[in-house]
Structure 1
Amino acid sequence: MFKLFSKNFWAIIARLILRNKIGILIAIILATIFFSSQWKNMRFSYTEANLLPDDHEVNVTYNEFLNIFGEEGNLILLGVKDSTLFTVEKLNAWNKLSEDLKAFDEVETVVSLNDLKKLIKNKEAEKFDLVPFIKDSVTSIEQINKLQDELFKQYPFYDNFLFNTKTRTIRTAIYIKKDIVNTSARKDFIMETFIPKVEDFETANNLDVRVSGMPYIRTLNAQNIVDEIGLFIVLALGVTSFIFFLFFRSFRATFISLIVVCIGVMWTFGIIGLLNYEITVLTALIPPLIIVIGIPNCIFLINKYQHEVKLHGNKVKSLQRVITKVGNATLMTNVTTASGFATFILTESTLLKEFGIVASLSILAIFILCLLVIPIIYTFLPYPQERHLEHLNKKWIGGFVDWTVRMVREQKIAIYATSLILIIGSIIGIYQIKISGSLIEDMPKEEAFFKDIRFFEEEFDGIMPLEIMVDTKRKKGVMKLSTLKKMEELENLIDDIPELSRPISVVSLVKYSKQAYYNGNPKFYQLPTSQENSFILSYAKNSSSEANLLENFVDSTGQYARITTYMKDIGTDKMERIEEDLQNKINKVFQPENRYNVTMTGKALVFQKGTKYLVKNLAISLSLAIFLISLFMAYMFRSFRMIIVSLIPNLLPLVITAGLMGYLGVPIKPSTILVFSIAFGISVDDTIHFLAKYRQELQANHWKIRKSVYAALRETGVSMFYTSIVLFFGFIVFTTSSFGGTVALGALVSATLLFAMLSNLLLLPSLLLSLERSIANKEVMREPSINIIPVEDDDPKDTRNS
């Protein structure tokens, strides 16, 4: 039977690497230069993460809305809650700020107090004129008092849009041009022009200006992601290299490892650029992940090299054995880790596909780099000094391994009982897990822009737009009185939902028109009767000013209307209930006659639906990871029973982690969904190493099970401990993030890998001992398809040190 990864194959690979070291190093340098040249293609995401497939019904509806009404997320808000604003000097300064912002090319329009206009009835021309509340500038406190009286008492059309009548909070709406709102030009404008302008105004007028709106939030959020990429890379390098140095006590070995993982990071950025992918909150995690995953590869290879040098002192022979003995094992562990990430490729979410592709390719790339660079560099270096080999005889690590052997030998019942208790407790916790579809939950809580989001939620009932699109199925159907009445009925029902803001639509404009027709009397802020409708609309048709206002609420054909409300940041469960309640209200108002097609959409709804979609895909991706890794195990060990035994210790940590999420109130969301597939793909590496060594010990010890289990445990325990500690502290680095989701990801993966190490050191060998009769015999444990740790003919004892 053909065996691709046989001992002879790896012997050939070892010879090729060591005999062509100069050529390989040149090839690596050229590849690094090539990948570096692709960095120019990298770009940061300027839109929210769309978690749904492009052809998903929710996305189709949202894109249809954008095609009709244009980009909805182009609004930036400035807000001030300060009674001193209503003084001559400060109010004029506030209005001047708005005028200054209008001058920038990136701004489409600005609506501030200075821009508010009254609809005034022009009897002679039989039309409405727009007359500004403030004609030039404010000159007296009496003028300000009159303005407040008019705004807060006489013109409800503007209430909850530019001011809050109850708290006297004022805000200004800045609309960014729609063609730049999803480009780098938006970022440049906000970071380099807009923010400094607002800060100068705050300083000059001693006012606290709150800023929000999706373009602003997205820009600052993206900037935080960019800042944290560098922070994570530096921290991951620092923490993992420090732990590496503690283990090996060698600056040389530490420096070599740093070179390898730094090249790996450069290749990762190059892969992102080569594939022309955006850097999102997920792909930003991959470079530090490569460092965390790459360092254990270095540990395996360098540890083996030092073992071999200590045994026989032959450097060339040692490097050959590093490649032949550890190369295969490292390949299989990296393939299983990559498989955990690669399962995301099979989802229909573009965001997850890109993450899975880049992560899996980068993991395979770091394996190739480790296998090539480390042996080649060591050919140019002198023998390790005696102090560099002292870590091989550390008593405290031996004491830890002795403890695990003693527990497996004497406390199997306690191990099983503890595992059972943890499973039962975790299952209870799993039922308490909640799902989060919030757009802002993972954003940095301590950042000023997050606090401003809460400010606008409190003052204006939310900032995340929820759009309702009404299709009347005929041109100019929106302005029919029957349609307007139905829209008003729905708006009244929306207004009763405390989590939603007062809706605004063409209905408000028509009500305002009637008020203007009756000389501004606020009592007439209502829809016209059928008798009034004809002559009020005739005034409106003659008014170009009203037509301009109408463009924001009705499409050019008059067939489609939009009702815009804003949603508070609420949990997914509550959001689903509101959506269901709102859909029932829509059906009640519009559907009985079947003359309208009314749909809900908006960024908040798309994101919430995307989270639900990911949760459904979680089970699929995790099942795929388990299935793929089971195939690897089947091919390696050719034993169904061994597959079951190997999966149990790796599924247990996942169950425990899921239970902890329930107890600690960590919800399922896009960031935490990744935990399970990532952790499973990494934790199964220890199982592969242990079982491969166990098989080898069985053959060497003439199928004496207990002796083989304990020998395998002693040999692999140190490596498991080393790599698990590196991985644990490597992922802990992510807890320094200001993003809640990244913190949760780092903490949960770290905890899962720690549980996985204990599970593989305690539960796995205990299962092998308890099931020894059924799984540890020549029929079940027959010759593997892949010799992960090949036995060497010239030195059989040496296999114990692999």
Structure 2
Amino acid sequence: MSKFLGFEFWNTVARIILRNRILILILIAACTVFLGLQWKNMKFSFTEANLLPDDDPINVQYHAFLDKFGEEGNVIVLAVNDPKLFTPENFTAWNNLSRELRSSPEVEFTVAVGDLMKLQKFEDPGRFEMVPFIQVKDPDSLQVGAYRDELFNNLPFYEGLVYSRHSNTVQTAVYLDKKIVNTGKRKSFVVEDLIPLVENFEEETGMNVYVSGMPYIRTLNAQTIIDEIGLFIGAALLVTSLIFFFFFRSFRATVISMITVIVGVMWAFGVLGLLHYEITVLTAIIPPLIIVIGIPNCIFLINKYQQEIKKHGNQAKSLQRVITKVGNATLLTNLTTASGFATFILTESTLLTEFGIVASINIILIFILSLLIIPIIYSYMNVPREKHLKHLNKRWINGFVNWMEKMVKHHRISIFIISVILLAASIIGIYQIKISGSLLEDMPQNADFFKDIEFFEEEFDGVMPLEILIDTKREQGVMKLPTLKKMEELQNLIAEEEQLSPPISIVNLVKYSKQAYYNGNPKYYQLPTSQERNFILPYAQGLETSGNNLLTSFVDSTGQYARMTTFMKDIGTREMEEIEEDLWPKINEIFPEDRYSIEMTGKALIFQKGTTYLVRNLIISLGLAIFLIALLMAWMFRSFKMILVSLIPNILPLLVTAGMMGFLGVPIKPSTILVFSIAFGISVDDTIHFLAKYRQELKANNWKIKRSVYAALRETGVSMFYTSIVLFFGFSVFMISSFGGTVALGGLVSATLLFAMLSNLLLLPALLLSLQKEIANKDVLREPAIDIIPAEDDSEENEEEAYSKM
């Protein structure tokens, strides 16, 4: 292995690259075209993020529920909270809106004021029939007023369905065809049909329509993700190019770097298409991530090339040494970065596994592209002029390096004291971190549709569906009066929970049937007695809304399973766990386990359980990442003590960031838990560069510790500063996102990397100097498995020979 990654190997690589420049460029162009053709396979996610493994019991329960009742998140709701609705013109326009929506092939049925049916008693012969609630096509003011009074005062069945119990808000529920809810047809309906119709209604009536429901939220949320991909890529290119130019003051170097990362972005999209992965809120950040991670590769390669040119002016020798002397270091640093992302593959969550696979593959690909494109393009250009090399002697950079050296030399005790204080404060902050499993929390809170979500939460006590599946363990067991009474008791129990809406189930239908039987008197909105059961329940089974039997929405075809739907507010994991702890003992008391089986499921619950699962598994993944990188360090330096010294400066920034999250109230959630694996994989790169150079300086300086530490600090400090600043501002780009999770990810990774840079430039050298007797001897620092940074070799024979046939 040492030969594989040794000087001879990289000398061979350099020879191949520089002798086959045209062929390599053709291959890169061909791969770019091939991967560009894969873009057509990219598709955007039409489902919510499911963080649980497919075989997790909670997921199995959820899919069993879907098998019985179909997709549960298929309702779009429209609401108006305006007294002007109850004028003849506006009332008719509102009913016409629901009629137009109902005529769409994507809609199964609607539940609106204009659709309502009521059970009415007829004489001669005596019978009951379902009749329309609105029996006049163009009602006048008196009739509209009568409809309003009857709806709010006499029809409790429609409370929460058609009107709010808190105010005079009127709602229309649009039930989409369950087959199209998770397809592109849902987007077409929302964007091309629903939104234009709502806008026309608002323009004609001057009333504001609030729109919500999971299909609508998911569609606009996905559209926001799509819109932000281009924004991220453009911003990342702009920020990194400006910083790169500021450091190098060279248009040529900047353009070459931009070409490299743009090709990397094209390949990233191609890999997504090739693997047929969906673009989610996570995979959407991979292309700009490649820009942010790719630019440091360009900095190391171009900086080395310019240093070599300044040293001896020989382009052949410089290009050769760019590959042979930077190849090992950049390969290993990219491997550690990729390993930070690759740990997500072990979570067993499809969403995170795909993210980990695509990110780690593309990090290796951007390394390969950098190593190929930069030397080849420079080989066709003139040798950099003196003005291109001025940045190597910037006074402010030298001042920064001198400050670091001064701190390490004279203020090591202060560095240790500050580190201990930060560690103690971080531990305190960590104990204040909360876990959040909110499905809505990371959505763009400034968007109009999010403001509508807040309205529905206030008026209808939530928008996130929570389903309760009741198995009576016998056919037709649902319609038994004892079962209905138990279900009513459970509904009353749930209605007492402040964070949950009053549930809807077959119980509501049966109670409405009894009310209708007694001439619509609202005081009879209750379950029938055992004497009334036989002649009232048949009406419940025939209760229809606009030709669709609502009974099938709440009871399966066998009559064994019943569905109870409630809606929860945007609460976190801890609050939901408290609700479950309160409900389950009472549920088990109401429904004896020997006669009933009760399950709680639904998208919101799945997401919350997924968050808890994710936190547990990503902590394991982070530990595995630390272990793998520790093994890599052991292989490189062959010293257990060096492993400990190298890990301390990289773990401390993670703890500081976690402490900040606790103090700032940033919860642990899917987006923020990613920070630690990403940041650790990137920050350890600086440690590898520094320790590799430090070991080389030890041998060159006859094992003189202080001279070697300061030499390594001066040599690597500039590059570490450059790359850290690029990474800091590059990840800060994600803070322009409208998604709270992406903002948190960008801000926290940026802060962690900044801490990591300071830790590697101050704490790591201070540790090496303070522990010099324990770790800086030949027994501890034995001959490494590989020379990460090969020793300088002034022999030009191989280098000239490699370049002679270019």
Output the amino acid matched with 2:577: E
Moved more, 580-589 or 665-674: 580-589
- The answer as to whether partners of 2:509 and 2:540 remain within 8 angstroms in 1 is no
**Is 1:63 the equivalent of 2:63?**
yes
1:664-718 Cα deviation digits (max 9, x unpaired): 0000001001000000000000000000000000000000011000100010000
2:802 matched to which residue of 1? none
- Post-superposition shift, 1:108? 1.4
2:268 matched to which residue of 1? 268
2:492 matched to which residue of 1? 492
2:803 matched to which residue of 1? none
- The answer as to whether partners of 2:110 and 2:175 remain within 8 angstroms in 1 is yes
- The answer as to whether partners of 1:127 and 1:543 remain within 8 angstroms in 2 is no
How far apart, in 2, do the equivalents of 1:108 and 1:639 lie? 68
Moved more, 130-139 or 35-44: 130-139
1:196-233 Cα deviation digits (max 9, x unpaired): 11111111110000000000000000000001010000
How far apart, in 1, do the equivalents of 2:183 and 2:508 lie? 33
1:34-75 Cα deviation digits (max 9, x unpaired): 110111110000000000000111111110110000101110
- Post-superposition shift, 1:139? 2.4
2:790 matched to which residue of 1? 790
SS at match of 2:566: strand
1:800 matched to which residue of 2? none
How far apart, in 2, do the equivalents of 1:54 and 1:425 lie? 39
1:722 matched to which residue of 2? 722
Distance of aligned partners of 1:531 and 1:753 in 2 relative to their CA distance in 1, 3 Å threshold:
same
2:505 matched to which residue of 1? 505
How far apart, in 2, do the equivalents of 1:81 and 1:163 lie? 10
Output the amino acid matched with 1:73: G
How far apart, in 1, do the equivalents of 2:522 and 2:163 lie? 17
Q: Identify unmatched segments of 5+ residues in structure 2.
A: 797-806
How far apart, in 1, do the equivalents of 2:745 and 2:550 lie? 46
1:28-427 equivalent positions in 2, closer than 5 A:
28-122=28-122, 128-427=128-427
How far apart, in 1, do the equivalents of 2:613 and 2:562 lie? 29
2:591 matched to which residue of 1? 590
Output the amino acid matched with 2:493: L
How far apart, in 2, do the equivalents of 1:638 and 1:478 lie? 69
- Post-superposition shift, 1:538? 4.3
**Is 1:575 the equivalent of 2:544?**
no
SS at match of 2:498: coil
Distance of aligned partners of 1:723 and 1:125 in 2 relative to their CA distance in 1, 3 Å threshold:
farther
Output the amino acid matched with 2:275: L
- Post-superposition shift, 1:124? 6.6
Distance of aligned partners of 1:547 and 1:100 in 2 relative to their CA distance in 1, 3 Å threshold:
closer
1:799 matched to which residue of 2? none
SS at match of 1:551: helix
- The answer as to whether partners of 1:615 and 1:668 remain within 8 angstroms in 2 is yes
SS at match of 2:47: coil
- The answer as to whether partners of 2:734 and 2:745 remain within 8 angstroms in 1 is yes
1:519-569 Cα deviation digits (max 9, x unpaired): 111111111111111122245567777981211110111000011111011
Q: Identify unmatched segments of 5+ residues in structure 1.
A: 797-802
TM-score (norm 1): 0.98
TM-score (norm 2): 0.97
1:582-619 Cα deviation digits (max 9, x unpaired): 22221110026x20101100111000000000010121
1:776 matched to which residue of 2? 776
- Post-superposition shift, 1:127? 5.9
How far apart, in 2, do the equivalents of 1:548 and 1:80 lie? 26
Percent identical among aligned pairs is: 69
- Post-superposition shift, 1:414? 0.2
- The answer as to whether partners of 2:475 and 2:560 remain within 8 angstroms in 1 is yes
How far apart, in 1, do the equivalents of 2:122 and 2:583 lie? 40
How far apart, in 2, do the equivalents of 1:204 and 1:539 lie? 40
**Is 1:563 the equivalent of 2:600?**
no
Moved more, 284-293 or 124-133: 124-133
SS at match of 1:163: coil
How far apart, in 2, do the equivalents of 1:778 and 1:633 lie? 17
Output the amino acid matched with 1:317: K
1:212-258 Cα deviation digits (max 9, x unpaired): 00000000000000010100000000000100001111111100000
How far apart, in 1, do the equivalents of 2:127 and 2:376 lie? 85
1:462-501 equivalent positions in 2, closer than 5 A:
462-501=462-501
How far apart, in 2, do the equivalents of 1:330 and 1:591 lie? 63
Distance of aligned partners of 1:128 and 1:684 in 2 relative to their CA distance in 1, 3 Å threshold:
farther
1:386-427 Cα deviation digits (max 9, x unpaired): 111000000100000000001000001000000000000000
- The answer as to whether partners of 2:2 and 2:786 remain within 8 angstroms in 1 is no
- Post-superposition shift, 1:157? 0.4
Output the amino acid matched with 2:552: E
Output the amino acid matched with 1:26: I
**Is 1:553 the equivalent of 2:549?**
no
- Post-superposition shift, 1:126? 7.2
- Post-superposition shift, 1:3? 2.7
Output the amino acid matched with 2:560: Q
Output the amino acid matched with 2:159: D
1:650-675 Cα deviation digits (max 9, x unpaired): 00000000000000000000100100
- Post-superposition shift, 1:316? 1.0
Query: How many residues are treated as equivalent by the alignment?
Result: 795
1:168-201 Cα deviation digits (max 9, x unpaired): 1001011111111101111121112211111111
1:516-555 equivalent positions in 2, closer than 5 A:
516-540=516-540, 548-555=549-556
**Is 1:448 the equivalent of 2:448?**
yes
- Post-superposition shift, 1:571? 2.2
SS at match of 2:553: coil
How far apart, in 1, do the equivalents of 2:128 and 2:291 lie? 67
SS at match of 2:744: helix
Cα RMSD (Å) of the superposition? 1.4
**Is 1:748 the equivalent of 2:752?**
no
